[in-house]
Every structure is written in structure tokens, then in C-alpha cells.
Chain A
């Protein structure tokens, strides 16, 4: 009993923290800084309590007498939990300045962040479709609210509305899919579904396949695959910076937790059916995303468009899973990690600048940035290099693993297209570098901000480089290969 409680303590801490923050915001005495500290404290606590579980290799079901096998704790979910909490902590800390500069933030904001983290954690742990749906909705509803947090801003409100309408519409497909699967299997637990698929004949599993396709729609929508992508650019643009950052990095990861669990294990025998469909969507996503990205002037919109392309890369790996690649699942996790580091860094710098001015940031605003802020410009360049997959950054290794998995599963053309769009992405990422370095400026040089956000962004830049070259070059110090090993171990715990 106590042991079980200990295992769910990280989730409990997060949700308790959320409630605590709500109570706290009832009192007007506290400042934003206090709320931020409390939120980070709870997330830290959750992270620290969870971290030792990474060495746990067993599969444990929580309170099996009550919940059966709905709620699972394994290495895979632990790793995802850690990424969520770490992502939320970084988002909160890096944006300290931004919160101060905008007057519409208050205590509930932090409560909502914690609620959505709780939802994502539950999503990673759910071993049953209805639980997964509830978890997904907890996370999504919090993010909808977050996206519209700037109440008086037309764009922000519009973003929330669009996101909510479209999100609810596609969310319905998840529940429809679940219902269909229940109709065929008679249960919504993942283990039962897997058992059914293994024993069922082709015609018997038709309903399951239909259900699976509908669930896929929701997942594709949330990660912004074409043609379910149209909300991405508007919502990313309209939402406040900290929220965009949170959505692009952390929330995106969450979707893969359930997607991998479903398609890697339970749908494994019938995965092949979707591979053709996924390939078509991947092609559309890669090309459509890069079309969107190259035609944007606003940096937030550009990053939004490019995040669609990054989803496309991960879709390559998902269809590789269906075609039997062993490397694909760890490759996705590594890619998530690398994308997380680089995009949080890039958004972090944008929000850092945005916190000091009220302009919408376009490419032109970065002219001569390297002379005004040489260190920030260098870091931005590192993040851009990593996002475009330049060698010796972590982004390169991420793409490398993805393409390897694609080639391993025989999708040479898809890998080729991926490489081609990576070349195209150089255009819009390097455009920023060129703006920063190749144009003069009259403004004087400013000092490097030695505060928390500055240091954290610097740390992420170092990690991006370290993750890209840290392997084998320096003996006895682990690098990127350490993470890919953890990812492999986590994926193994699924099977």
C-alpha cells in the first residue's frame, strides 16, 4: 500500500501543487515570483522523487484491486514523466523575465501549467484508452486555457478558440475509436486489445483497425501533421511565448507517450496496415510544413511551421516502427529530446527579447543582433544549427537516428525526402543566422544578462553541442549515446 503510494507520489505532488497554487492565488499578497517559485518547487520535488525510479525495470500496476491494469508504472512512463517535469521547470524558469513584463499573468497560470503536466504524466502512465482520453483532455484543456491567457489580446483569444474547437472535434474521434475498439474487444485495456489482435482473424479485427485509425487522427492532430496542421501556426503565434514554448516542446512529447505505447505494443501485429497511410501523411507533413516555414516573416510563425516539419521526421520513425525497425522507437525518443533542447532554447531567446519590447519579432528585427548581443546571437545560432540538423549538434544525431531507422525499414525514399526537407530547412534557419551576423547595426553592444534565464539558455546551448559531439570523443564521459541507451531501455520495458 505504502509502496504503491510512493510510486504515484510524483503525480500526486504535481496535482497537489496545482491545487495549492490555486488556493494561494486567492490571496492577493503574493507576487508572480512567489507563484513561480512555488510551481518550480513542486515540479522539482516531483522530479527528484521520480528520478530514482529510472532504475526500476519491473512493470507495476497501481492498486490493481481497484483499477486493474489501467494505471501502469514502467521505465518508459518514468522517462516521459521526467521529460515533462524538466520541460515545465525549464519553461517556467526561462520565462521569469517575460512573466514580469506582462501584466496578465497571475497565480492560476502556474496552476494550469501544473495541471497540464499532471495530465501528461497520467497520459504516459495510462494503460487503458478511456484513462488515456481523460488524461489527454486534462492536459489539453489546461493548454487551451493557457493559449488564451492574454485575455485582452485578440490573437490570443482567437488562438484559444480555434485550438479548442478543432481540438474538441478531433478529440471526439479518439472517443469514437475507443468505442469501436470496445465493441470488438469488449474491453479498453491495452493488454486485452493486444491479446485480441493476436488471436483475431482479419475480418474480426476490422473494427479494431477502424478504431485505431480514428485514434490516430487525434494523435496526428495534436502533433500537427498535415492536413491536421492548420491550427498550429495560428495558435503558436497567438499564444503567449511561455505557452508556445510549452506546447512546442513539452506537450508535443506527451502525445508520443501514448502513440508509442499503442502502436509499438498493442497494435504491433497490425501496424503494417497504417504504414502506407502514414507515409502519405509524412510526405505531406514534411513538404507542407516546410512550405509554411519558408514563407513566414514572423519568427514565432516560422518556428511553428518548422515544428510541423519536425513532427514529420518523427512520423517517418513511426511508420518505420510499423515496418519492423528496431531502432525507430528509441530514435523518436532521442529526437524528442533533441528537439526539446533546441526549441526551448530558441523560444527562450525569443521570449527573452520579447520581454524587453512589445514588438512582434520578425527576421528583420534580428539584423546585426550579433553585434548587439554577441553571446545570445551565438547561442541562437547554435539552436538554429541544431534545429536544421547540422553535424556536431544534437539535432544532427536526432535526424541521423531517424533516417537510419527509415533506411533499416526500407523506406529509402522517405529518408531521402527527409534529408531534402532538412536541406530546405537550412534556408529558414540560416536566414536568421545570416540576419544576425551579416548586417551592421548602430545600436551599442549590450552586456550578457547574467540572470537565471540567461544562464539556463547558455546551459541548453552547451547541452546541444555536448549531445552532438560528446560521444566517444572524450573517454570516460558519457554523451548522447548515454541517452539513446536510456531510451532503448525504456522502449524495452514496453515489451
Chain B
């Protein structure tokens, strides 16, 4: 059974390699081959994941499947195996990564059908899937790091997929470099942990078993550094700026990055290290605070954006903020639950947006849309469901997961975080319905020849709409008459705080109220007619320019670094280092020339050197012997 784990990871990689090789040999127009190979990989991995999930569902909560593929590095005691593990957390991740991944693959087959580099796209796509599965299934942090890096690489390849445009390359570079900053934190954290644990059997299980022996401040350091890695991958303040730019990739890529893979990696990693974060709750609180700020900040920016994909990008960042609030405050299962439900509705939103974009011949500005309800009925209905879900309207899935997070924030006594999160909930409803109303309601535009969307693109929307509507029912808590099924299945070590049912009702009511206020505002402002916002006031222009954070980073970091490197090139290197070096070199060369003079070609001199050498040697030996 556990060998299946190897295949879950291996199949996408194999299919990526196969498609890549075929593509390189020049067989580029055979779309059917790429479609079948491309979709089959996540489908098979998904089926195997279901088996794994079924197996784990049937056994007790602490059963963990392990399998070792091969020994990778063995240097003395340092011993790293390419090994995989699956517990219930993994099973949940596997399920939605492969399920939603498959749907996105099917959708992509329709979306990309006219692209010349179709085969290359699917090869990269499966590389992405494989990397994410490797990350999730890793039995030790080293292998997880390999997956982590591969996710960064494949996202780079996909974001820069339309490489003919220099702007896209820039976006890809930005994503890659900011992720590297995060990865640096991650690798340092692993190194510190490795040294502290003295390296033996560096697997999650052994780390968990030995974490108690470590100093608390050391654990806090490791936790912080790990979170730096999570900041990069999961786009939290301050390493979030790559995420909106990552929209440069094809829309299915955005769907994959935002829903099934990549951005969830950071949340998953924190949950995977839950045993570590439970030792240092104050680090967790910091994480939650960053999450809350990110959530609010992104929601504010999203409210003023006019590019449909950017709105969704900022909403992802905002929702990720919620997830970090949850995992930071120790409500791991609520966090993962939100990852789970978010995957459905965010994938749906992106794919719906992609459908709109295709229908309007690659128009992304929402203010050039309007009234599309009549033309794109199915897209409208499904996106409406997704919007309801993300805004937290019961009984759609987002309500239950978000409610659980807000309840956890309230119960833990971090009222500041709770308030920010509640405010964000209102903003979420506002900007999401703003988008929906502008695109599908507001009067306005005449459309000529809207193409018929292929079934490959529409059916996945329907499936996801069903998911977005009902996935939340898996985790209804006791207050609403459920049994808290998701949390008890996933069995993470939550730091739980009890809350009375009355309080939960009150909170739930408040959330719905906030969402309704946001919706109402959006309706009033945009449902009939919509104008593009103009940055006429200071506040508006500040938000519209995304708080000038990109410019700030450019000034503070990029230019400073450039200046420093120019200086070290021109002054330190050219004058200082080279100068000293030249001094040494010329001295050494002179010495060499003098020494070569001894090499005068006369054998009697050579004999003299030898005899002199022997004489000195003999003296030295005499001295040594005397000492004996």
C-alpha cells in the first residue's frame, strides 16, 4: 500500500519528462497525446491518493504510512533517504491537490488549445504537480526542501511561460527571487535544527520526538526562520509582491498556484511543524499578526483594483492571511480546513475569470466588461456561487471555515487580530461582489462574436461549483449541529480554546452581517453602472498604487544593493583587492625570476645544490638525533 506513495509523486514527474522529451524531439502539434498524458498523470495520482485516504480513514488517527524509495546521501552519520510519509494531514492535501489539479488540467486543455507550446505547457504543469506532491509527501525536511525548491522553479517556468514578452520574464524573475529570500530562511532554519539535533535521523517523526530537548529560544528562532520561508511561498507581508505580478502566466497557472499548489505550501509547512510551533506560542501569535495584517492590507488593495486577475490575486493573499491567523493561533485544523475550502472556490474563481477573459479576447479590465450575465450564463452562476462562498455566506463552504478561524481568534483572546479579520470579512464581500456586479451586471457594453466556450472549460466549473457550495459541510462544528468532522479526521494538535455555543452564534451572526454589509455596499455602488476609480484623493491614490510598496522595495533594497555592488566592483574590488593582489603577484613573480636564476643550466651548480641540501639535512638529522 505504502509503495503507492512513491507512484503518486513519480507519475507526474514521469509524465512531465515524457512530454518534455517528445516536445524536444519536435512533435509539437500532436495535442491529443499531450492532453491524454497530461491529464492522466494527476488523475492517476488522484486515484492513488484516494486509496491512501481510504486506508487512513479506516485506521486510527495516529497511523502514518512510510515508504523509503532509496538512500540518497550517506556520509557517516549523516543519512538522508528519499522517503515518503502520509498521515491524515497529507491525505487531505493530496486529495485536494490532485482533485483540483485534475480539474485545472482538463480546463487548461481547453484554455491552451490554440497555443503553440501546448506540449511544453503540460510538461511544466506536471512538473509543478509533481513538485508539490513531493513537498507534501516528504518524510524529512530535506526532501520537503527539494520539493519546495522545485515548486519555486516550476512556478518560475510557468509564470514566464509567455516569454516573448519581457514584462512576463520580469514577473517570473520577481517571483523566483522573492521566493529565494524565503527559501533562505527555510534552509537556515533546517540547518539550525539539524545542528541542534545533531543530525541523526532527520525525519519529521524524530524531530517531533526530540523537540522537547531543545532550548525554547532556539525553537523560537527556528520557528521564525521557517515562517520566513512560508512568507515567501504563501505571499505574506513583506514578501508578497510577487503574487500579483505572477498573474503574467496563463490563467490555469494562476488557478494552480493559488488554489491547489504553491501558496498553500507555507500553511501546510506550518501545520506540518505544528509540534514545533506548539512549543513557542508567542511565535505563533506573531505569525497570526502578520497574517491579519496581510489579510486586511490585501483586501484594501483588492477593493481598488480593476484587473480581474489582480483582484483575485490580492484576495488569495487576503485569504492566506486568514489561514496564517488560524495556524498561528494553534487552530491548525481550521487553517487547513480553510486551505481546503479555499482551494475549491479560488480555483473556480480563476477558471471563471479565465473563461471571461477568453470570451472577451483577452480583456482583463473589469470596467470594460459588464452585463455578461446574459452571454455567459453558466460562468455567471458558478462564479456567483464561488463569490458567495468566499464572502462567507452560509451555507456555502467559505462560511464554515472562515467562521472557525474567526471564532478561534476571538476565543484565544487576540481581539486585535479578531477585529482586523472581521473587518477583512466585510471588505472581502465588498470587493468580491464589486467584481461580480461590474462584470456580470453593470450596464454597458456591446459585445460582438463572443465565442462558445468548449466543454473542457465549462464542466470543471460545474464540478467546482458543487464543491464550493458543499465542501464546507464536511466541517460543520457542534454549534451548528455538525460533528466537527474535518477537525477530528485531520487530528492535528490544536491549541483549542472553548467557546460557548451562544458566543459562536453571535460571532457567526456578526460575520454574516459584515458580509451582507459588504455585499450591500457593492450592490449600491456598482450593480447598475460602474466607473473606473480615479486616484483623486490622497487615500485613494495611495491604495490604488498598492501603497507604493513595490516602489519602496525598489528604492530601499534593489537600488541600495545595486549601489553597493557597483561600489564593491569599482572601488573595493578594482582598487582594494586587486591592488593588494597585484602587489603580491609582482613580488612573487620577482621572487620567481630570482629563483630561476639559480637554474643556470650548469650541472656542477645543480650538484652543489644537492650536496648543500644533503648537508643541511644531515645537520638537521644530527640535531634530532642528539635530542633522542
B596 contacts A291, CB within 8 Å?
Answer: yes
* A48 interfacial by beta-carbon distance below 8 Å: no
B73 contacts A472, CB within 8 Å?
Answer: yes
Q: Say which residue of B596, B598, B617 sits within 8 Å of A277 (CB atoms).
A: B617
B70 contacts A221, CB within 8 Å?
Answer: no
Give bound CA distance, A173 to B607, whole Å.
Answer: 13
Point out the residues of chain B lying under 8 angstroms from A169, CB to CB. 607, 610
A294 contacts B588, CB within 8 Å?
Answer: yes
Give bound CA distance, A120 to B614, whole Å.
Answer: 26
A-B contact sample (5 more), CB < 8 A, given A228-B609, A228-B610: A165-B607, A169-B610, A231-B606, A277-B617, A277-B624
Q: Which residues of A contact B (CB under 8 A)?
A: 158, 161-162, 165-166, 169-170, 173, 202-203, 206, 209-210, 213, 217, 221, 227-228, 230-231, 233-234, 273, 276-277, 280, 288, 290-292, 294-296, 424, 427, 472, 475
A277 contacts B621, CB within 8 Å?
Answer: yes
* B414 interfacial by beta-carbon distance below 8 Å: no
7 interchain pairs, CB-CB under 8 A: A165-B603, A209-B625, A228-B609, A234-B601, A292-B592, A292-B599, A475-B70
- Least distance between A302 CB and chain B CB atoms (Å): 11
Residue of B whose beta carbon sits closest to that of A206: B625
The DSSP consensus for interface residues of chain A is helix
A217 contacts B599, CB within 8 Å?
Answer: no
Point out the residues of chain A lying under 8 angstroms from B213, CB to CB. none
Point out the residues of chain A lying under 8 angstroms from B601, CB to CB. 158, 234
A166 contacts B606, CB within 8 Å?
Answer: yes
A227 contacts B595, CB within 8 Å?
Answer: no
A221 contacts B610, CB within 8 Å?
Answer: yes
Point out the residues of chain B lying under 8 angstroms from A165, CB to CB. 603, 607
List residues of B (583-628) whose CB comes within 8 Å of A's CBs. 585, 588-589, 591-593, 595-596, 598-599, 601, 603, 605-607, 609-610, 612-614, 617-618, 620-621, 624-625, 628
Q: Say which residue of A162, A203, A206, A295 sits within 8 Å of B606 (CB atoms).
A: A162
B620 contacts A291, CB within 8 Å?
Answer: no
Ranked 3 nearest A-B pairs via Cβ: A291-B592, A227-B613, A230-B606
B624 contacts A273, CB within 8 Å?
Answer: yes
Give bound CA distance, A273 to B628, whole Å.
Answer: 10
Given the interface pairs A162-B606, A234-B601, the reply to whether A292 lies near B618 with Cβ below 8 Å is no
Give bound CA distance, A427 to B585, whole Å.
Answer: 10
Given the interface pairs A217-B614, A288-B595, the reply to whether A230 lies near B589 with Cβ below 8 Å is no
- Least distance between A276 CB and chain B CB atoms (Å): 7
Most central of B591, B593, B617, B624 by chain A CB within 10 Å: B617
Point out the residues of chain A lying under 8 angstroms from B593, CB to CB. 295
B617 contacts A230, CB within 8 Å?
Answer: no
Give bound CA distance, A21 to B621, whole Å.
Answer: 47
Residues 275-306 of B, flagged 1 when their CB comes within 8 A of A and 0 if not, give 00000000000000000000000000000000
Point out the residues of chain A lying under 8 angstroms from B70, CB to CB. 475
A227 contacts B609, CB within 8 Å?
Answer: yes
The DSSP consensus for interface residues of chain B is helix
Interface residues on B, range: 20 to 34
A166 contacts B628, CB within 8 Å?
Answer: no
- Least distance between B10 CB and chain A CB atoms (Å): 15
Give bound CA distance, A281 to B80, whole Å.
Answer: 43
A230 contacts B609, CB within 8 Å?
Answer: yes
Point out the residues of chain A lying under 8 angstroms from B73, CB to CB. 472
A173 contacts B614, CB within 8 Å?
Answer: yes
A291 contacts B610, CB within 8 Å?
Answer: no
B624 contacts A276, CB within 8 Å?
Answer: yes
List residues of B (37-74) whose CB comes within 8 Å of A's CBs. 70, 73
A292 contacts B595, CB within 8 Å?
Answer: yes
Residue of A whose beta carbon sits closest to that of B594: A291
Most central of A170, A221, A230, A234 by chain B CB within 10 Å: A230
- Least distance between B142 CB and chain A CB atoms (Å): 15
- Least distance between B22 CB and chain A CB atoms (Å): 24
Residue of B whose beta carbon sits closest to that of A294: B592
Give bound CA distance, A213 to B625, whole Å.
Answer: 12
- Least distance between A466 CB and chain B CB atoms (Å): 20
Given the interface pairs A294-B588, A295-B589, the reply to whether A277 lies near B620 with Cβ below 8 Å is yes
Point out the residues of chain B lying under 8 angstroms from A234, CB to CB. 599, 601
A210 contacts B610, CB within 8 Å?
Answer: no
Give bound CA distance, A169 to B609, whole Å.
Answer: 12
A230 contacts B625, CB within 8 Å?
Answer: no
Point out the residues of chain B lying under 8 angstroms from A206, CB to CB. 625, 628
Given the interface pairs A166-B610, A295-B589, the reply to whether A213 lies near B618 with Cβ below 8 Å is yes
Q: Say which residue of A162, A231, A424 sits within 8 Å of B588 (CB atoms).
A: A424
Give bound CA distance, A159 to B603, whole Å.
Answer: 10
Point out the residues of chain B lying under 8 angstroms from A294, CB to CB. 588-589, 592
A230 contacts B599, CB within 8 Å?
Answer: yes
A203 contacts B628, CB within 8 Å?
Answer: yes
Give bound CA distance, A472 to B80, whole Å.
Answer: 13
Give bound CA distance, A65 to B56, whole Å.
Answer: 75
Point out the residues of chain B lying under 8 angstroms from A213, CB to CB. 617-618, 621
Residue of A whose beta carbon sits closest to that of B620: A277
- Least distance between A401 CB and chain B CB atoms (Å): 15
Point out the residues of chain B lying under 8 angstroms from A231, CB to CB. 606
